[in-house]
Structure 1
Amino acid sequence: MATTPKSWTSSAPLLLLGILIGLTGPADARRPKKDRDPQPEPAPVAPAPKPVTPPIALFDAPLPMTVGPMVPGLANTTAQACGACHFGTHGTWATSDHALGWRDTRFTEAVRLASTPACTQCHLPFLEQSPELVTYDADDVDKPLAGANPAFDASLRLEGVTCAACHVRDGKIVGPRPPELVGTSPHPLAWSEELTKSEGCATCHQLTWEGAKTPFYDTYGEWERSPYAKAGITCQDCHGGGGAGSTAPFDHGMPRETGRAVSVLLDLPSLTIVRGDETPVALGITLQNTGAGHAFPTGSPFTGIRVRARIVGPPDRKGVPYEAVVLEHDLGRTLTDGPPWDVTADTRIPAGGQIELTADLSVPYGAPEGDWALQVDLLQTAAGVPVDAPPSLSRELPLSVE
């Protein structure tokens, strides 16, 4: 007679029980889905309050403007008062081009060479910031006249494009969002769409003199014609920190690092130069505008960039390092001598564009041998003259001289 393995007989009752449970299952699982006990609905999400406060025009009058009435809750209208609470924002603004623009080396040198007070209207946007008021003889922009300003505020002058220039109007703090979306505030609030749009920057960064065929300042126009505008990338996306699409807090330092705007590409067939060689080493330099949504450089035609390439060697017997400039090229614009100051030449790099420069590298036989370097510097200029400031960008490539 056949026998059943012990393992089967001992586990058969458990196996049968498992099959029965699997066939029947929990009572609720066997009920049609529509007949099951209803589940509680998720709590509805409260919709965001709809803005009811209309936006204001941030710059509805020519510059310079007046500070206006005091904002309730502020001790004064200088950036110092704002910094008491907004100390992080104040810290980044304090070293920005906005804060330092009126005493920037290139600006002061350009104003000195141009011999005109007209430039202060954007660099010092409040009437109270200038000890003199600028007017024009019969609206002639070539004849600015300056008179004493009884409302001059020396404290405001220190701050250049101060907080209130963009964030105070009619005794209210102006932000980029409607007050209904902000919540509680110790100050009365207003809002302006211009704070988040490139059009708001155009007030100072776009200027065409009456009768001119070309803009004097064309930064906004350069952006408007660029692929950046077509892609919806605004001035604030690049100069507010974080880049396009970023949700990071706005950076009032207004970053504009040259290294983010320009790529410097070097082309050399060899890193070795033979002293006295009749055949020089050919150097190629390509400058690409890879990160600026406008021309490089941009802004005032009185300022520009000089590309300088030089080879630098070890010191000679007198301790003087050998140095030879092999290339200089200016990026900028040339204007007519008088109004309406039309542009007669433009050597800048448009957004997405590039230029190619060439030079020959050679070292005389009597120069020291050893470790040398090729240095490419981008120097800031004012009225075509390099200013006393560090290069805005430098690249150094080691060379060997035999």
Structure 2
Amino acid sequence: MFSGKAGLRALLLLLALATLALMLYFGPERAPAPEVPDTLSAEEALAAADAFYKSRPIYERPHPYTPIPEGLPDLRAETCGACHAEIYREWQVSTHRRAWLDDVQFMEELSKSRGEHNPPDAEPHDVSWLCVNCHTPLVNQLEKLVVGLENDDISKPIYVENPVFDPELQLDAITCATCHVRDGVVLGPRGDSPAAPHPVAKGDHLMSEENCVRCHQAEALFPEQTLGCFFTTGQEWEGSAFADQGQHCQDCHMPQTERQIVRGYDVPKRTTRHHWFGGSLIPKKPDYEEEIAPLRQIFGSGATLELLPAQAPACSEGPCPRARVVITNSQAGHRFPTGDPERHADVVARVFDARGQELARQEMRIGAIFEWWPEIKIKSDNRLMPGQSHEMALSWPAQDEAVRVELRADKYRMHQEAYDYHELEGKVERGRTFHSSTWEVSPEGQVRLEVVEDDRGRRHTLAPASEPAVPSPAPAE
């Protein structure tokens, strides 16, 4: 009945219809996988994969296959950069560009998700297909495509070879085409460039959160695999005043600028956006520190720290509350920190007397704490919502002279235990200091800032002296 190429196509059509019917009956997360023929043409493989991915939540899907726009040789960022040179240079230092092989932490997690650390006699286990779609988001970047699951088990994907796999494009990670190419058309915020050497159209998604939350809102729990995804940045933004005021991700992470967006063409300057995509600005590798550092003055750290007098009544004896450290999520339109569930910030305050002897020390960790085994549970979460503050009281014995208070705050991408377990010392930058300051507190409780150094620079006031100049960071070789 299903012999020859025409028969395979007929079978494929029935497969797609069966998948849709099962989705309607069971729901997209419960539909069992249909049988897939052993040999598929390129067209059939893409169609089978497309039918499967459409049955899954959006964060489990790659962007659908797109042909190369007419007039372009390929979809690679370097090709785009031949005309869009400034944007290309900005993208080269972005976390998006570093999201594949340059992300050593992710590579270790990916290896684990493929079961490569399991004993040789262990049952096959591979959940990596869930993860790669956010780090190499285009179907064109995936070496293999998933067309079904054995027994609806997410750890047993049914793969087919990807007939449109571009290994060079895969190295670009989150690249220009991720956001700007659909169905062989280059999308822009205006779509009105008649001189472009390729087809263009307007992409309304480029200026909305829709373009970001596909990956930055990936929340799911798979109890049977003891696996969870806890990327809730989109939901955090949605519940903030930023969303109420119509401020989107791009307003902070892609600062506006006036410039020509292409070279070699007679086009006017226009309002466009930088493509650095500032986030935590912790370099993926120690070698990338030099290229990342200039961006910190532009984006800042999201959170600010300040030492204020204690609110408790003054006391003269014993270690009384004499000052308080206030940590505020003053800039981020989502939690501080956000993203990976291991992201956290450590704040340390130390009090010294006039002779340099430490009188007191207080610490606070800001982050979510999970229990991962034998069952995934969130034990606590004190991350700061936009505008929210935490306070840390400081107490020390009464002094006849002023004391010195030193504050330091560091943000981290992962816990020390995971860092050591994966042997990432020297390969991955675990964190960075984003605030250090020195204060003087008089015996009467008056507080005075001496010096502060943070992402906005070194100064003697908490307010930046002026708006930071926009640098042109050069990508590391």
Q: TM (normalized to structure 1)? A: 0.65
Q: In 2, distance between residues paired with 1:292 and 1:391?
A: 18
- CA deviation profile, 1:254-295 (whole Å, cap 9, x unmatched): 2235735211112367xxxxxxx9748855221111111111
Q: Aligned ranges for residues 106-185 of structure 1 at < 5 Å?
A: 107-108=106-107, 117=128, 118-131=130-143, 137-141=150-154, 143=155, 145=157, 149-151=161-163, 152-177=165-190, 179=191, 181-185=192-196
- CA deviation profile, 1:76-133 (whole Å, cap 9, x unmatched): 2110101111110001111112111333466456657777623222121123434455
Q: In 1, distance between residues paired with 2:377 and 2:76?
A: 37
SS of residue paired to 2:366? strand
SS of residue paired to 2:66? coil
Whether the 8 Å CA contact 1:297–1:332 is kept in 2: the answer is no
Q: In 2, distance between residues paired with 1:356 and 1:146?
A: 51
The amino acid that maps onto 1:192 is G
SS of residue paired to 1:358? strand
What residue number does 2:343 align with? 303
Kindly tell me: are residues 139 and 191 of structure 1, through their superposed partners in 2, closer, same or farther at Cα, counting changes over 3 Å?
Answer: farther
What residue number does 2:94 align with? 96
Kindly tell me: are residues 253 and 381 of structure 1, through their superposed partners in 2, closer, same or farther at Cα, counting changes over 3 Å?
Answer: closer
Kindly tell me: are residues 330 and 284 of structure 1, through their superposed partners in 2, closer, same or farther at Cα, counting changes over 3 Å?
Answer: same
Q: Aligned ranges for residues 257-276 of structure 1 at < 5 Å?
A: 259-267=300-308
Report the CA distance between 1:241 and its aligned residue. Answer: 0.5
The amino acid that maps onto 1:254 is F
Q: In 1, distance between residues paired with 2:396 and 2:145?
A: 53
What residue number does 2:33 align with? none
Report the CA distance between 1:311 and its aligned residue. Answer: 6.8
Q: In 2, distance between residues paired with 1:266 and 1:149?
A: 59
Give the one of 368, 386, 407 matched to 1:332: 368
Give the one of 294, 304, 307 matched to 2:334: 294
Q: Aligned ranges for residues 169-318 of structure 1 at < 5 Å?
A: 169-177=182-190, 179=191, 181-209=192-220, 216-242=230-256, 248-256=271-279, 259-267=300-308, 279=319, 282=322, 284-309=324-349
Give the one of 81, 84, 98 matched to 2:82: 84
SS of residue paired to 2:432? coil
Whether the 8 Å CA contact 2:349–2:405 is kept in 1: the answer is no
**Radius of gyration: which is bigger?**
1
1:357 is the counterpart of 2:392: yes
SS of residue paired to 1:391? strand
- CA deviation profile, 1:280-324 (whole Å, cap 9, x unmatched): 8855221111111111111222433333445799xx9xxxxx999
Report the CA distance between 1:219 and its aligned residue. Answer: 1.3
Whether the 8 Å CA contact 2:180–2:187 is kept in 1: the answer is yes
The amino acid that maps onto 1:306 is D
Whether the 8 Å CA contact 2:213–2:234 is kept in 1: the answer is yes
Give the one of 372, 378, 381 matched to 2:413: 381
Kindly tell me: are residues 186 and 122 of structure 1, through their superposed partners in 2, closer, same or farther at Cα, counting changes over 3 Å?
Answer: same
The amino acid that maps onto 2:325 is I
Report the CA distance between 1:162 and its aligned residue. Answer: 0.6
RMSD (Å), alpha carbons: 4.3
Greater mean alpha carbon deviation, residues 278-287 or residues 223-232:
278-287
Would you say how many aligned residue pairs link Structure 1 and Structure 2? 320
Highest RCO, 1 vs 2 (Cα 8 Å, sep ≥ 6): 1
Report the CA distance between 1:331 and its aligned residue. Answer: 1.6
Q: In 1, distance between residues paired with 2:131 and 2:415?
A: 14
Report the CA distance between 1:195 and its aligned residue. Answer: 0.7
Whether the 8 Å CA contact 2:371–2:377 is kept in 1: the answer is yes
Report the CA distance between 1:328 and its aligned residue. Answer: 3.8
- CA deviation profile, 1:307-356 (whole Å, cap 9, x unmatched): 3445799xx9xxxxx999641413235366478x6645321101121111
Identity of aligned residues (%): 28
Q: In 2, distance between residues paired with 1:344 and 1:136?
A: 32
Kindly tell me: are residues 137 and 338 of structure 1, through their superposed partners in 2, closer, same or farther at Cα, counting changes over 3 Å?
Answer: farther
Kindly tell me: are residues 345 and 98 of structure 1, through their superposed partners in 2, closer, same or farther at Cα, counting changes over 3 Å?
Answer: same
- CA deviation profile, 1:190-228 (whole Å, cap 9, x unmatched): 22211111122221111232789x983221111111111
Whether the 8 Å CA contact 1:106–1:380 is kept in 2: the answer is no
Whether the 8 Å CA contact 1:110–1:303 is kept in 2: the answer is no
Q: Aligned ranges for residues 22-61 of structure 1 at < 5 Å?
A: none
SS of residue paired to 1:378? strand
